[in-house]
Amino acid sequence: MPQVTEISHPLVQSHLSRLRDTSTAPAEFRLLIKRLATILTLEATRDLATREIEVTTPLSRMTGRALATTTGLVPILRAGLGMVESALELLPDSEVWHLGLYRDEATAQPVEYYCKLPDTKPVDVALILDPMLATGGSAISALQALQAWGVPSLKLLSVIASSAGIKAVQTQFPSAELYVCAIDPELNSRKFIVPGLGDAGDRTFNTLR
């Protein structure tokens, strides 16, 4: 699939199996999300532009590299919050902007309840953070908001994506880049990813009932 990177690293496969397991407790679930978010962020930032800088080591001067790209982290509330810390550790100078979207269980459509992007100059690259890409509705809403802000490079980072969700995003945003740890084949009647891992927000914040 063009513009889609599925990371098939052995560590990803191992962490993902534990993440999917229904017996995995919330504390371990959060840790696994952080680990996978780190790997996704590393892969998604592989092509960031850099510039030369002069560095003084204890032994000599040398020419090093520094990022020449402004980045924004955009977690989709609430499940995306579990991915922010890892991404921010790798990109500590990033701006962080939150988008609040929830899924209407009757229609499976996203409902926006919070969006406060600034009127100032947009970042060069935005990383949208959402563990699950199911129908693609929330991702498309986020991409629309960031496109309207004027962000030139849009990247979506998800732990698990459905084939249908990827297709929906690519249809409306063919230039957006997607980075995922696994692509699952289908959605059930409730529009949950199968085999998936259930509700990432509930499992992250221990609100299963």
Residue 178 lies in a domain: yes
Q: Which tokens hold the place of 10?
A: 């052995």
Residue 133 lies in a domain: yes
Q: What is the pLDDT averaged over residues 110-127?
A: 84
Rounded mean pLDDT of the chain? Answer: 92
Yes or no: say if 156 and 150 are a contact pair by the CB < 8 Å rule. no
Residue 60 lies in a domain: no
**What is the percent of the chain where pLDDT is above 70?**
92
Q: What is the distance between the alpha carbons of residues 173 and 137, in angstroms, rounded to a whole number? A: 12
CATH code: domain of residue 19: 3.40.50.2020
pLDDT band at 195 (very low <50, low <70, confident <90, very high): very high
Residue 10 lies in a domain: yes
pLDDT band at 105 (very low <50, low <70, confident <90, very high): low
Strand partners, 101: 112
Range of the domain at 122: 4-49+68-205
The number of domains in the chain is 1
Residue 100 has a pLDDT of 79
How do residues 172-184 score in pLDDT, each as one tens digit? 999 999 999 999 9
Residue 176 lies in a domain: yes
Residue 121 lies in a domain: yes
Global pTM? 0.91
Residue 109 lies in a domain: yes
Residue 1 has a pLDDT of 46
Yes or no: say if 44 and 154 are a contact pair by the CB < 8 Å rule. no
